[in-house]
Each structure stands twice: as C-alpha cells, then as structure tokens.
Amino acid sequence: MDSVKHLRFDVAVVGAGPAGIAAALAAADSGRTIGLIDDNPTAGGQIWRGAYNSARPSASSIWFDRLNKSAVQIVRGARVFHAAAGELAAESDDSVIQISYGKLILATGARELFLPFPGWTLPNVMGAGGLQAFVKSGLEISGKRIVIAGTGPLLLAVAAYARKCGAKVIGICEQTTRPKMARFGLKMMLIPDKAAEALRFAYDLRSIPHWTDCWPVAAFGNRRLESVRISRQGQTSEIACDYLACGFHLIPNVELPRTCGCRLRESFVAVDEYQQTSVPGIFCAGEPTGIGGLELALVEGEIAGYAATNWEDRAKHLFAKRARHQKVVRILQDAFPLRPELKNLARPDTLVCRCEDVPHERLCEHASWRAAKLHARCGMGPCQGRICAPAAEFLFGWQIDSVRPPLFPVRCSSLVALSSHSAPRN
C-alpha cells in the first residue's frame, strides 16, 4: 500500500509555472512556511520548461535563482487529485501526499485547445506549447522542418525559439485576418514593454513566412507526419514537414479551482483585486483567471502571494502594473477570435476523442456532452475530456458538465489513502 506523507504549509501554491513561482516568492517574504506543488519533475511550468537546470541564462534565471535561495519548499512530481476544506491530496510516484494549508494559491495554468482536422492524431503533430516544451527540455530539432499553425502570439514565440534551435520553420499559419493581425501589431507597439518584444519578434522571425487567413486543413503521413495541407486565403497547398505545431488558444485549467468551490466568470476563475476567489483564503493567479501571457501571470502571482500573507500594501503597489498587462488580455481576445471555418475541418471519420478513438460522426448523433460521453464514450478516457471537451464545446456548442473526481487518474490505492486522515487542523 502507498505510504502517506503529511505536509503542512501556511500557504500552499499549486502550480510551479511563472505565476506560482512569483506567488510563492512573494509569500515567502513574510517568513511563513510556503509550499510550491507541481506535477512535473522540475519547476517552470510549460513556458519555463527545462530552464531550471539550464546553464544558459534566460529571462527566467532570475526567478529560479531567487527560488533556489528562498525558503520555499518545492514539492515536485506531485499531482493534486483531490481537494477538501483546508486540504489537498496529491499523488507522487510512490506515495500520497496530504497537504494542509492556511491559505491556498492556485496557479494551475492553461492547456492548449486542439481543433480536430484530418490527420491531427499523427505522430509529430503536437501542441505549439507542447513542442516548445519538449525542445526546451532537450528535443533536438536542428535541421527539422516545422510548420506552426493556429492563432496568437504564442506561434511567434514558438517559431522564434525553434529557429534559434536550428529548425527550419517553413511558415506560420495564422487563422486570424490580416486586418486583425495588423491591428494587434499596432496595439502591442503602443504598450512600452510589448513594443520592444514585438520588434524583437519581427527581427527573430525575419524571412519566415507569416500567413494570415491561413489554417491547416489536413495532415498526411504513413506512420508519422510527412506533410500538411494548408488553406491560405482560399487556396490550398501542401507542405512537406517533420513537425506540425498547433496552437489554437489556451484553455484555463479550472478543474482544481472548481473542485475547491471557486466561482467562474465566463469560464475563468473569478477573482477580486487581490486575486482572491469566491472562496475566502483561496487565491488564483495566471491563466486560469484570464489568458494574458507571462508578464501578467507574474504580477498576478506576486499580488496573490502578498495578499495571501496579509501584505495588502505591497499587493496594492502592483495594481497599476497589473492593469497595464491586463490590457493584453482584451487585445488578444479581439485580435484572435476563432473563425467559423475551423468548425468544418473535421470530417465524419476525424477523431475528436483520442483516448477512446471516437470520430466526429458519432458525436453528431448526440445533443449534449453528457449524451456523447455516455453513449459514444467521448471523454471517458484517461484525459477525462481535457483534450476533447474543449474541442466538442467549440464544434457543437455543448456546455461541459462538472468535474468528476478524481481530478486526474490515480492509482486505486491512492483513493484509499484519501480517507485515512490527516494532520490535525488548527
């Protein structure tokens, strides 16, 4: 049977991406005990993947340096699968960890929205953030041909990074319209920090084709990806490539916040100016409160960290900075809405649920997500609908129902450890 470890923190932070790291460090200033819990083997989340151990200096180095020198206890490889008042249960490779906390900061990040199209299940079709994360953690792509498709500035970041690592980025397929893209560029130029970033991108991406009104129509290959057919302003063409990195928006990971009872507003976790959710003592920072990118996540994390340790003054000092970066949220939403043509990419036999291999035509037989689940098994696999439910919501407009426990698949023995209580609560 699993061993059960008990940990107790004044402030527990779930998610060691930028928001969580910023939150933990801010909270640590108070001298209270801080725990930073993440299911990956190292801290950094998606965007700072691999940077923790990297000798190469990067924007994240300062943060990791501070984290290393701080008193924050990092709990790695621990996947939170259950939450009750004042407590979390996480599963690691060999144990269940019961974590009791005084305050909780949720920085669970976001995951990619995947839109089904013929061939999207071929090996080497990946998420844009996913490919970037693999490259950052050691995947060699030098000389590989990469097509990047989807929407938003993430594509530019991935393209720039891939090129730096020696890949041949054949093109960036941006589904938004040319006018919207141009307006986005202009608006970003008006924000001081962003202007510099935009110019850097323009330089890093020089001579890489960036096509607007462009999206993947199908991927081809025998055992793995060999080519992509794209639609570009009404014309299709085929591009031979080794990787297709797709990034169509991010879906906030709100499953844990919902389980904790946090109210949502328009599918994001609702928070007040101190990043506190509708549940007193539970805070949320970063993408789950609104997709806004790295800088916003960092400042939200800091605010949450100070607020959770009753340092409202310091939190208040950051409100203006947050407001500046929050502008980005709106700009992103306006510039990159998903166009209706993307709903028609899937053919009847295109899989929507990858865990259970459920094709589009089977989902068409049903009128609700629940019916599709029960009858067609869509979302009944180990990903618990994390990949297919957002796609189904986009394709069919279905409201996805509530989260069922456990939050992630866990060993049956871990479910038993749940009820063998637990450290005494104060």
DSSP strand pairing (34-37 vs 73-75): parallel
Pick from 4, 77, 229, 232 the residue near another protein by CB under 8 A. Answer: 77
Q: Which residues pair with 282 in a beta bridge?
A: 104
Selected range binding another protein among 28-36, 39-47, 154-162, 325-333, rule: CB under 8 A: 39-47
42 binds another protein (CB under 8 A): yes
Closer residue to another protein in complex, CB, 41/179: 41
Task: Look up residue 34 and give its two tokens.
Answer: 């801080």
Pick the closer one to another protein by CB: 69 or 223.
223
Selected binder of another protein within 58, 68, 233, 420 (CB under 8 A): 420
Binding residue for another protein, selected from 53, 235, 399, 426, defined by CB under 8 A: 53
| Angle ∠(185,50,315) on CA atoms, nearest 5 | 65
Q: How far is the CB of 234 from another protein (least distance, A)?
A: 29
| Single residue of 131, 285, 345, 392 touching another protein by CB under 8 A | 131
Of these, 30, 54, 95, 278, which contacts another protein (CB under 8 A)?
54
Between strands 358-359 and 351-353, the pairing is antiparallel
Query: Is residue 349 part of the contact set for another protein (CB under 8 A)?
Result: no
Q: Helix 61-69 crosses helix 18-28 at what angle (to 10 degrees)?
A: 40
Of the candidate spans 127-135, 297-305, 307-315, 320-328, the one that interacts with another protein by CB under 8 A turns out to be 127-135
CA distances from 50 to 17, 45, 197, 237, 361 (A): 11, 9, 22, 35, 40
Kindly give, in sequence order, each residue whose CB lies less than 8 Å from that of residue 231, ignoring residues fewer than 6 positions away: 214, 215, 216, 217, 341
Nearest to 243 by CA among 317, 374, 142, 311: 142
Task: Tell me how far apart the terminal alpha carbons of the chain are, to the nearest angstrom.
Answer: 28
Q: Which member of 8, 103, 111, 360 binds another protein (CB under 8 A)?
A: 111
**List of residues contacting another protein (CB under 8 A):** 1, 39-42, 46, 49-50, 53-55, 77, 79, 82, 84, 111-112, 114, 121, 123-127, 129-134, 137-140, 223-224, 354-357, 366-368, 370-371, 374-375, 377, 380-384, 386-387, 404-406, 409-420
